[in-house]
């Protein structure tokens, strides 16, 4: 990989026939430093958002030393890439074999659960010669609302507050350290998502009468997309810290979080070529079965720019996209705002695809990603900007103009 100045340079010089992924390590490093320095506890990266080994190493360099893994494949990946990392197996429903290997082979000691059956499985899988492990941190996942978030995670996992007491009490007996975790949903647009959830944590602790050593507020920390411009992340941290300080937990209790999107959204963007225009619909060479899964299946809007040596002065127009496969579902409604004179042969950059975009890619219909290049310019949107480089002060910012 070489390091061009920006997306326009790649489009102009290479004229690629396949999509090109641009990665910006400096953007991920900046996000990692922000969480490592500003969050009032431990930040663990949710690997599912983007499992790139290169990204994992960048986040490590930025101060992220703990990783939320959700499968044995992710356990193996992070252990091989970052041998000294702390791994937390935070999927609430895991195969017995995965728990066994994670504990006995890879040194994983933190596991989440949301019911008695999973607790029994973890205890059995981590036992040695019939003797139960004494070094487990067990985090009981509580079901909380996703009403403040763009994507709900409220139905699949989690035990309700009204049913949590027996699970918490049993986990307390099996654990060296007991935690409560939750997930407010993806792209939480208000810090109230966390204060509301922590109120439920308080209720669960009081009902169970247990000593809690860890409170894990999960993920959901937002990035900036068209039509989604949340308040600065520091406000989220302040609200979380205030609510955590008010909880009836152990005096030495730890506060954790699991950012995924917020750490990697700005890491990658995509260069695509327009193959055909039909009215306000553009046929491009990536789509629903590639990096634009979310744009197709959950109507996620990503920032888009036309890449031309001479900038267009045509008025903006909202476009929809069709991807390259033969499937009608390979459609992204948008609207993606671009100059009205965009045409076949033009190149576009679609931004903020570091989270889930690369991770969701398939090779359906034979269409795959092309090259990956390192870019040195700023991402198309950013929640971080260094205002005083010598002090690494990070504050929110709006759209970055090239």
Phi first, then psi, for residue 279 (nearest 5°) are 60, -120
Give the pairing type, strands 149-151 and 186-188.
Answer: antiparallel
For tokens 């995670």, the residue is 153
**Pick from 38, 76, 47, 82: nearest CA to 61:** 82
Beta bridge partners of 10: none
CA gap 54, 66 in Å, rounded: 16
- Catalytic residue from among 181, 264, 326, 358: 326
Contact 313, 319 (CB under 8 A): no
- 143's tokens: 């079901």
For tokens 């576009």, the residue is 348
The H or E element that residue 31 is part of is helix 25-38
**Pick from 20, 6, 31, 3: nearest CA to 264:** 31
Contact 211, 172 (CB under 8 A): yes
Question: Is the peptide bond prior to 286 cis by the omega test (within 30 degrees of 0)?
Answer: no
Beta bridge partners of 348: 272, 306
**Alpha helix segments (H runs only) across 265-349:** 293-297
Indicate if 257 belongs to the active site: no
Q: What is the DSSP string of 36-77?
A: HHHSSSEEEEEGGG---HHHHHHHHHTT--EEEE-SHHHHHH
CA gap 22, 25 in Å, rounded: 10
Phi first, then psi, for residue 28 (nearest 5°) are -65, -40
Active site residues: 326
């Amino acid at each position: 990989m070489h390091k061009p100045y920006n997306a326009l340079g790649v489009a102009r010089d290479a004229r690629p026939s396949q999509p090109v992924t641009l990665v910006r390590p400096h953007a991920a490093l900046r996000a990692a430093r922000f969480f490592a320095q500003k969050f009032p506890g431990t930040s663990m990266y949710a690997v599912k958002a983007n499992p790139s080994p290169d990204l994992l190493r960048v986040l490590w360099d930025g101060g992220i030393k703990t990783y939320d893994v959700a499968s044995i494949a992710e356990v193996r990946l992070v252990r091989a890439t970052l041998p000294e990392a702390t791994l937390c197996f935070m999927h609430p429903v895991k195969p017995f074999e995965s728990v066994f290997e994670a504990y006995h082979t890879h040194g994983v000691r933190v596991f989440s659960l949301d019911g008695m059956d999973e607790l029994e499985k973890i205890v059995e899988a981590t036992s040695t010669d019939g003797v139960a492990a004494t070094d487990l941190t067990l985090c009981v996942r509580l079901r909380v609302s996703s009403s403040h978030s763009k994507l709900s995670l409220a139905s699949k996992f989690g035990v309700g507050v009204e049913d949590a007491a027996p699970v918490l009490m049993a986990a307390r007996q099996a654990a060296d350290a007991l935690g409560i975790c939750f997930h407010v949903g993806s792209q939480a647009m208000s810090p109230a998502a966390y204060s509301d959830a922590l109120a439920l944590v308080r209720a669960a602790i009081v009902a169970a009468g247990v000593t809690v050593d860890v409170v894990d507020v999960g993920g959901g920390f937002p990035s900036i997309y068209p039509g989604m411009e949340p308040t600065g992340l520091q406000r989220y941290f302040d609200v979380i810290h205030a609510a955590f300080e008010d909880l009836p937990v152990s005096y030495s209790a730890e506060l954790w979080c699991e950012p995924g999107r917020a750490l990697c959204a700005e890491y990658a963007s995509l260069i695509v070529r327009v193959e055909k225009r039909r009215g306000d619909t553009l046929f491009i060479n990536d789509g629903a079965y590639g990096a634009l899964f979310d744009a197709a299946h959950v109507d996620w809007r990503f920032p888009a720019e036309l890449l031309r040596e001479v900038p267009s002065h045509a008025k903006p127009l909202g476009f929809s996209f069709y991807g390259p496969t033969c499937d009608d579902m390979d459609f992204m409604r948008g609207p993606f705002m671009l100059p009205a004179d965009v045409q076949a042969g033009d190149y576009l950059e679609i931004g903020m695809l570091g989270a889930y975009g690369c991770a969701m890619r398939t090779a359906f219909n034979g269409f795959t990603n092309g090259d990956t290049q390192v870019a040195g310019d700023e991402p198309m949107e950013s929640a971080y900007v260094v205002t005083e480089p010598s002090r690494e002060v990070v504050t929110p910012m709006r759209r970055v103009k090239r």
